[in-house]
Amino acid sequence: MSTTSRIHNFSAGPAVLALPVLEEAQRDLLSLPGVGMSVMEISHRSKAFEDLLGRAIEDIRALADIPANYKILMLQGGATLQFSMVPMNLLAADGVADYIDTGSWSGKAIKEARKVGTINIAASTKADKYTSIPAQQDLTLTPGAAYAHITTNNTIEGTAWTALPDVGDVPLVADTSSEMFSCPIDISRFGLVYSGAQKNLGPSGVTLVIIREDLLERTSDALPSMLNYKLHVENNSLYNTPNTFGIYILGLTVRWVRSLGGLPAVAAINQRKAEKVYNEIDRSGFYRGTARKDSRSLMNVTFRLATEELEKMFVKESTVAGLDGLRGHRSVGGMRASIYNAFPEAGVDALVEFMREFERARG
Ligand code: PMP
C-alpha cells in the first residue's frame, strides 16, 4: 500500500502514528542498522536493546524536561493496570485517596481503587453527563490524602482539564493517556503520571509511567513483583521481557515530536487543529459540541447532530469519503474526532470540508 492511499484515521486509539515513524520502522524492520536483526528478534538484555531503551528514556526526559528525581518506566497491562497499581503501591491500609470523577475512565479507575482501599470522591461531573471539568471550589479534598487522582483528558466525553487542580502537598496522580505529550506538561506538579501509549505515544502494549522517587518508599515488598513500581525502577523496566517493539516505536515517536520543535510546537499545531473543528461545530448550530466550552478537549472533539438518524448518515458518508473512525464511543453516541499529535492537519481540513458539505446537503 502506498502512503498516498492512507485514509484519514480519527480513531481514539490505537490511533494514527506519525508517517516518518512508520517509514523508519518499515525501512529498518528486517535489520536494525548495525545490528543485522529486527528489533523484534533481539534479546531485551542485548546492548542494542538496552541502548534503544536508554535513548527512548533520555528523549522522554529531554522532551518534557523531566526532573532527575522522577523515574521513567515502560510497563505493560495498559492504563487499566495502573488503575490497580496506583492504589496498591501508594495507598496504605489506613489512608484515603481522593479521586475526581470526570468521565468513564475516571469511573473505571475509581472502581479498581475501591477494591484496594478507602476512596473519597472529591468531585464528580457525572450528573451533567461528564460534559465539564469541576472548578477548584467544587473539590472536597481530604487533608493528608495519600494522593489525588485525575484524568487529564477524558477520551470518551471530549473534555480536558485546562489548568491542574490545586491539591496542596498531596501528590497529584494523573491518567494522561489521551493527551500525553500533546502540550507542555510540568511533571514537577505530579507525584505520578501514567499513559497507555496507543494514542499519542506509539502502539498499544506499552504504558509510560513517570513516578516521583520518594513515592517508591511506600511500595510494599509483599506486592506481586509485576505490580511493584520499585522493582520495575530497580530493574529499569527490564524485570521481565517488555514490549520491545512497542518501546522502539515509542522511542521513534518521541524523537519525532522533538524534531517538530518539542511540546510547545506540537501544542500550537494541536490548538490550531482543534480550533478548526470547534469553529465549524459552532458556526451555524447544525452541529452541537457536547463538552462545555471551557472544558473542551483538544484531542477528542465530540459533537452531535439533531437526530440519531442524521448521525448515522454522517458516520456512513464520512467513512465513504475516506474519514474513518468518527463514530462516538458506544456509551455516549454522536461523533468523535480524535486528532492526536500524529493526526495530520490536512485530515482536519478534510473533516471541516466534509462537515460543510454534509450541512449543505442535509441542513
Ligand atoms: N484511560 C484513558 C483516559 C483512556 O482513554 C483509556 C483507553 N481508551 C484507558 C485509560 C484504558 O487504557 P488501556 O486500554 O491502555 O488499559
pLDDT in tens, 48-73: 999 999 999 999 999 999 999 999 99
* pLDDT for 71: 98
Q: What is the pLDDT of residue 45?
A: 97
Residue 28 annotated among the catalytic residues of the structure: no
Beta carbon of 196 within 6 Å of any ligand 1 atom: yes
262-362 and 23-259 share a CATH fold? no
Among candidate residues 71, 175, 230, 273, the one labeled active-site is 175
Fold of 23-259: Aspartate Aminotransferase; domain 2 (3.40.640)
The residue extents of the domains of the chain are 23-259, 262-362
The pTM of the whole model exceeds 0.95? yes
Percent of the chain with pLDDT over 70: 99
Alpha-carbon dihedral of residues 23, 25, 31, 35, nearest 10 degrees? 120
CATH 3.40.50.11720 fits 262-362, yes or no: no
For residue 302, report the distance from its CA to the centre of ligand 1, in Å. 17
Supply 3's cell numbers: 502512503
First to last CA, the chain: 37
The rounded distance, in Å, linking the Cα atoms of 317 and 308 is: 14
C-alpha pair distances (Å), 143 with each of 5, 98, 258: 55, 10, 39
CB 15 within 8 A of CB 338: yes
Give, using CA atoms, the residue closest to atom 15 of ligand 1: 78
Q: Give, in order, the Cα–Cα distances in Å from 74 to each of 29, 163, 189, 190, 233.
A: 21, 27, 21, 18, 10
| Number of CB atoms found within 10 A of residue 357's CB | 12
Atom of ligand 1 lying closest to residue 103 CA: 3
CA of 177 to the centre of ligand 1 (A): 6
